[in-house]
Structure 1
């Protein structure tokens, strides 16, 4: 259960190179760029964009019928559109302006004006007569950049070509006020092509497939338009193709709604263009801005071809391409639908009810402050797992504690809350947190796993496990996701659920007051983790500096081993899977970062504690402050799995290699250098030495320098090596290495 007072969680890692680096990206979904409870571990665009590609491409669906997309996602039924009962006259002037532009910024204003003009004609025609008021207008993004939330050495600045803002309510300069984002791409000179208009080319308009009713005026609503930006379009980045692919556009069926889409050929991955990745980057920023979106819609315009993109935590669904000049019905339908969109179909989280300061007509909800989080009793349970018989609600306090970066995945958001309507639950006084996340449906539910752990360990240890007061899981029809209405193909995106956990708030390790207090918390966490494994056979599988928290009982600090959403019962005979790697890369055991990793074992969690210790010693001053990401550890946070392995392992090859890390320890942690840090680093070096010796033996055997009998260990010895690195990576060895008693009295007879 995430319960932090800052924003420093990083379960994922980016991949600027070929090859995915995830914390179980596609299958568990921390979305490889889950960087952060905001910096120090945040990620620049050069890293974000390739990782978005890695996350999205395996979870792409479509192309779907445009009318179905508009109805399902934007909530506008084409039957209400009444095409054929009124007359639309496209503006030749706007078409010419769009076609004549030699750059993308020059096309933005004409495109926005065409959207505005289409709505104006629809809303003024007799059969419609303002059946729905305009709520959203589009304009070019003329600000230099809209600063994003992720950047290691700089802010992650994105600049959508166009964006939709609300006609009423908050309007600002950040992503929280952006309702839709669009990317325009110029790949050809449209002025050389023959436009689909009829009649005299000189007038400002030419009729479509219906009789003309005259000029209604370009951009008739006249709402808050901005001038065209004159600056050069942003540079675009390409990503190397590392496996067989076909581009999205090759699958699109432009200009028709009759043929059913066909799935991509077997053995080929559906690939995004670099511009489509940029559009996904805008969606990523919108998700992260306020932590109150369940889904986001994007608009992609490639010359005269338009497609609509739907993003949620399960994956991405795109519409078919349609031509803005030839497929006038579809273009006007889309223009009207985005112009009259309401809060629900913008994609706001419906469990969050706006505060009293929000106007009835406000579409943009730029903050969650004073929102009410509502849990439906039909789907909620209390801390024991028993049904809740009355709805429960909580007041959101301030801004989110944490909003996960990324699109596909758990999409975790953590809010500080206070009870509003307890629904009959016995909620004790004290600060609470709500964690909303989207885990894979087939995983064991985190709340159920926590209940199992707490019921099987002694109360003296259960106080180190999050106390979930109530929870709710929404699945299938209860989620009411637009993707369910679009009839997307099965099997291309793994199903997820929305899970909400309510628990007591805890502090991050950077808030520890003294070295003695840190030692107490660290040892409690290591021992509690061992107790959980011995008593329940459950591994955490995502130990990190942000998952070790603490609370206070008077003057006593109590460790909390947090976030069990990747926890799982350990099965020794279970086969490993490379696509199911677990953990935060910079805290993961070394051999989990290598190609063909083994199954996750207890020793891997134990090794993570060593990296957590080093990380804390290099970043925390024990006065409530933390340093920015140290340059020595930055390579641990980005690149491919193999890149991170190479950078980490070289620090533990010899004392000479580990010395730079030791020299970077904060003064407050220097007493632990000889007591804990160097002995544990030496333990890692001894493991690496034995690994090297085993590899040398294989070479000796290859060149007949030793017999097969000498080189091949007995099965029992091999098992011991796999499970404990021949006794080097056990709880007992770990504790003795740092001079602590390895005996836990309540199960002293159980082998450690």
Structure 2
């Protein structure tokens, strides 16, 4: 990051008048002087689109949300359906002459020159909200006057964010009730306000006349964007009252608001920090404002407006944000700081709109109407309540599954917590696939009882559709098609807590657990007609019994697919699935492909190799950093593919160098299992891609002509497969 101090010639209002840190509707300037604040103009390269980091980030973002974004929502519809503001109130605000203070607007304009304009925005925003309250004669404005803004950039410590250290962001939130809560984080952000960077700090910006030259939204004349049109442009739309736009739009006005914006990434961080259905925010590009909505289904945004021309629109937005309650801000109404018993609504769920959001999900409580299955010996009274003790896995990304796993303890009827810890998995599963809950139940029905210990043990499950959760976009009149929308269901599964694969304690236990998972995986396919399709080190798990016996458990069936009696669905091309480091080479090389058994067998092989280089079995730990020998598996598609081609090639030196990185306790496993399996995959692929002559009868791709099957896999490691007491279990598997 390049940093340059302001010199004595800098006359911007920010540098001459100090900075504000914390605001509410009743507050004034903190009076901090220039000497007490960070008076530097930071030019962060990662804020600019030209950098490779940003190009990579936006390419990833476009791939994730490009087809799922819906733009040009009318502002009045947005504030009504998303934030819950009555439309009549919204129309009243839009009809009022709510002016901007010329002096404060001038300070904001001056701040654009040096990149320190957030604090001046907060003063403007505070005044606009107060003006809206006065114009409306709002006698019930307590919720507005306890609404505050937090300027993250003016803080001494930046808000941690996994994608960038840049924080051109203001939080809108409820005023904290305790002094220790004066520093918010992503988990309590009611709304997130982002200010796009202005790359040319020397450009002249004049308020009240014409709009400034477009910022980095606008492509230079003659330039070509590397992003697809779906990410570059939105259709122009009229004003709220149906009139055409007041003036001709400048170059760049049709660029989608998320280009060169960190807000989608901020939204994913907010979603990951707690249990939340959606996140909303504003994007400021100098004077241009866009309201945005993000959830696991889609992204939507309003038609942009210029607040220097239409201050009443900004007043509408800020007032609606202030009046927005916890439910309309997207916070999970089933997550509480403490068990919430009285009073209940008619649905049996807590009526807790006045409760502030949970800042730390650890120590909070999930609460559901329902009942616990008979698996639990001591059933708690309704509702079902459990306390979060630890975050095992946070969700990642924006649109998609967003799976989270928590270590929890049940609240018993006595009010005490259960001694046994459980696991609670919360995810947004695709409605196109069978529910993971149904898959696990189906496997238990179809498979012999002695195998059930190797599959997830579910105690309580719950499922909610978008309609059940009253997601706001259902009422926005979006044009949803199979191309731009995927139906999802929020699934919650409470079950037994299992250990990680690296916690088995010995190489003997490791081999047993891995083998258990391989064999029950094939059993699920053979007898249950279910293929897992997403094998990784995190879903090969262990269950330790009281006598010290360890068994393997194959977990996470949310990407599984039902297979017909003739394996019909296995031959159908579909989007490739799997966990990136452990995906089969075939699947990395193709955008779509049938997913066959051999692909999952290849994943089992990669898990073996990964473990041999990263696991410390005696210490029950895994190395914190990815070893350089396998780092390519975790970076990008090209590197991952090339590294796996090397591993499965006949060139001895790359393989020897790889084996030299294996931990000592895995040395025998290399000779007994890892290298025999490597040679099996290498030979099978050679037979199909290299030695097969055009005149030969074509080998079937599903098994590489019978060379890569469950039988050949087990034979390579010299293990006789279990038959589970099923006659002729392995017949027809050659």
Q: Using structure 1 for the length normalisation, give the TM-score.
A: 0.77
User: What CA distance in whole angstroms lies between the structure 1 residues aligned with 2:244 and 2:508?
Assistant: 66
Judge conservation of contact 1:140–1:163 (CA < 8 Å) in 2.
yes
- Please tell me whether the aligned partners of residues 367 and 386 of structure 2 are also in contact (alpha carbons under 8 angstroms): no
The equivalent residue for 1:701 is: none
Does the C-alpha gap of structure 1 residues 637 and 115 become closer, same or farther in structure 2, counting only changes over 3 Å?
same
Tell me, what secondary structure is at the counterpart of 1:478? coil
* Kept after mapping to 1: 8 A contact 2:118/2:170: yes
Instruction: Go from structure 1 to structure 2 and tell me whether the alpha carbon gap of 1:74 and 1:488 turns closer, same or farther (over 3 Å shift).
Output: same
Q: Deviations over 1:486-526 (max 9, x none)?
A: 22222122111111111111111121111111111111111
Distance 1:566 1:356, change over 3 A: closer
Query: Please, which of 116, 120, 133 is the counterpart of residue 126 of structure 2?
Result: 116
For residue 630 of structure 1, the aligned residue among 616, 627, 630 is: 627
Counterpart of 1:651 in structure 2 is 647
Distance in structure 1 (CA, Å) of the matches to 2:386 and 2:694: 65
- Which residue of 77, 81, 85 maps to 1:68? 77
Q: Residue 746 in 1 paired to residue 730 in 2?
A: no
2:94 is aligned with 1:96: no
Look up the SS of the partner of 2:621 in the other structure. coil
* Alignment pair present for 1:176 and 2:191: no
Shift of 1:149: 6.3
Task: Quote the residue 1:731 is aligned against.
Answer: 710
Counterpart residue number, 2:59: 50
Distance 1:191 1:729, change over 3 A: same
Larger mean CA deviation between 127-136 and 306-315 belongs to: 127-136
Is the 1:355–1:369 Cα contact (8 Å) retained in structure 2? no
Partner SS for 2:292: strand
How far apart, in 2, do the equivalents of 1:383 and 1:150 lie?
A: 42
Change (3 A) 1:570 1:137: same
Task: Using CA pairs under 8 Å that are at least 6 residues apart, name the structure with larger relative contact order, 1 or 2.
Answer: 1
* 3-state SS of 1:544 partner: coil
- 2:13 aligned residue: none
Partner of 1:286: 270
Report how far residue 739 of structure 1 moved.
1.9
Aligned to 2:550: 557
CA contact (8 A) 2:238 2:244 kept: no
Partner residue of 1:41?
A: none
Distance in 2 (alpha carbons) for counterparts of 1:148 and 1:46: 21
CA contact (8 A) 2:582 2:603 kept: yes
Structure 1 unmatched ranges of 5 or more: 1-43, 198-232, 262-269, 698-709
CA distance in 1, matches of 2:531, 2:94: 62
How many angstroms does 1:364 deviate by?
4.1
Task: For residue 320 of structure 1, report the CA deviation from its aligned partner.
Answer: 1.1
Cα separation, 1, equivalents of 2:496 and 2:165: 35
Q: Offset at 1:543? A: 0.7
1:191 equivalenced with 2:195 (yes/no): no
Aligned pairs for 1:148-167 (under 5 A) are 148=160, 150=162, 156-167=164-175
For residues 293 and 192 of structure 1, the distance between their equivalents in structure 2, rounded to whole angstroms, comes to 40
SS in 1 for 2:443: helix
Q: Is the Cα–Cα contact under 8 Å of residues 166 and 364 in structure 1 kept in the other structure?
A: no
Q: Distance in 2 between matches of 1:732 and 1:237?
A: 58
Query: Per the alignment, in what secondary structure is the counterpart of residue 505 of structure 2?
Result: coil
Alignment of 1:495 onto 2:505: no
What SS class does the counterpart of residue 448 from structure 1 fall into? helix
Task: Give the deviation of 1:175 after TM superposition.
Answer: 2.6
Paired residue for 2:361?
368
- Hey, what does 2:668 align to over in structure 1? 671
Against the structure 1 CA distance between its residues 576 and 431, is the aligned structure 2 distance closer, same or farther, given a 3 Å change threshold?
A: same
Query: In the TM superposition, what is the alpha-carbon distance from 1:360 to its structure 2 partner?
Result: 9.0
Residue 317 (structure 1) aligns with: 300
Do the aligned partners of 1:381 and 1:472 also contact (CA within 8 Å) in 2? Answer: no
Cα gap change, 1:171 to 1:399, in 2 (>3 Å): farther
- 1:299-698 to 2 correspondences below 5 Å: 299-355=282-338, 363-377=356-370, 382=373, 391-420=382-411, 430-491=420-481, 492-554=484-546, 555-571=548-564, 572-574=567-569, 580-622=575-617, 623-627=619-623, 628-640=625-637, 642-654=638-650, 655-694=652-691
State the Cα distance separating 1:327 from its structure 2 match: 2.0
Aligned to 2:40: none
Q: What is the alpha-carbon distance in structure 2 between the residues aligned to residue 435 and residue 340 of structure 1?
A: 32
Per the TM alignment, residue 294 of structure 1 is displaced from its structure 2 partner at its CA by 1.3
SS at match of 1:343: coil
Q: 1 CA distance for matches of 2:94 and 2:259? A: 35
On the 8 A contact 1:400/1:414 being kept in 2, the answer is yes
Stretch moving more, 142-151 or 69-78:
142-151
The offset of 1:272, in angstroms, is 4.8
Q: 1-side partners of 2:368 and 2:219: how far apart?
A: 43
Residue pair 1:464, 1:559 contacting (<8 A) in 2 also = yes
Shift in CA distance, 87/411, structure 1 to aligned 2, threshold 3 Å = same
Offset of residue 398 of structure 1: 2.4
| 1:3-42 map, 5 Å | none
- Name the stretch that deviates more: 165-174 or 674-683: 165-174
Change (3 A) 1:249 1:534: closer
Taking the aligned partners of 2:463 and 2:333, their CA distance within structure 1 comes to 14
2:68 aligned to 59, 68, 74, which one?
59
Any conservation in 2 of the 1:548–1:559 contact (CA below 8 Å)?
Answer: yes
Structure 1, residues 539-586: CA drift from partner, whole Å, max 9, x if none? 000011001011111201111100001111224344867662111121
Q: Distance in 2 between matches of 1:411 and 1:461?
A: 29
Match of 1:245 in 2: 229
Match of 1:226 in 2: none
* Distance change in 2, residues 1:70/1:494 (3 Å): same
* Closer/same/farther in 2, CA of residues 322 and 120 from structure 1, 3 Å limit: same
Q: How many Å apart are 1:113 and its aligned residue? A: 1.4
Root-mean-square deviation (CA, aligned residues, Å) is 3.5
With the length of structure 2 as denominator, give the TM-score of the two structures.
0.79
Task: Structure 2 unaligned segments of length 5 or more: list them.
Answer: 1-52, 246-253, 342-351
**1:648, distance to aligned residue in structure 2 (A):** 1.6
Q: Are residues 242 and 462 of structure 1, via their aligned partners in 2, closer, same or farther at CA, if it must alter by over 3 Å?
A: farther
**CA distance, structure 1, for counterparts of residue 278 and residue 614 of structure 2:** 35
The answer on whether the counterparts of 1:123 and 1:130 sit within 8 Å (CA) in structure 2 is: no
Q: How many aligned positions are there?
A: 634
Query: Which secondary structure does the structure 2 equivalent of 1:116 belong to?
Result: helix
Cα drift, residue 282 of structure 1: 0.9
Contact residue 336 and residue 358 of structure 2 kept, 8 A: no
Alpha-carbon separation, structure 2, partners of 1:679 and 1:288: 41
Partner of 1:217: none
Q: What is the deviation of 1:382?
A: 4.8
Distance, in Å, in 1 between the alignment partners of 2:296 and 2:244 is 26
Deviation digits for residues 333-390 of structure 1 (CA, Å, limit 9, x no counterpart): 111122233222222112212327999966342112333322234xx89589xxx998
In structure 2, C-alpha distance between the alignment counterparts of 1:391 and 1:673, rounded to whole Å: 52
Distance 1:629 1:483 in 2: 40
SS of aligned partner of 1:558 = strand
Task: Judge conservation of contact 2:575–2:593 (CA < 8 Å) in 1.
Answer: no
Partner of 2:694: 711
Checking the alignment, whether the CA contact within 8 Å between 2:339 and 2:365 is kept in structure 1 is no
CA deviation after TM superposition for structure 1 residue 463, in Å: 0.6
Distance in 2, matches of 1:570 and 1:87, equals: 64
Give the direction of change, closer, same or farther, for the CA distance of 1:118–1:636 in structure 2 (3 Å limit): same
Contact 1:510–1:625 (8 Å) recurs in 2: yes
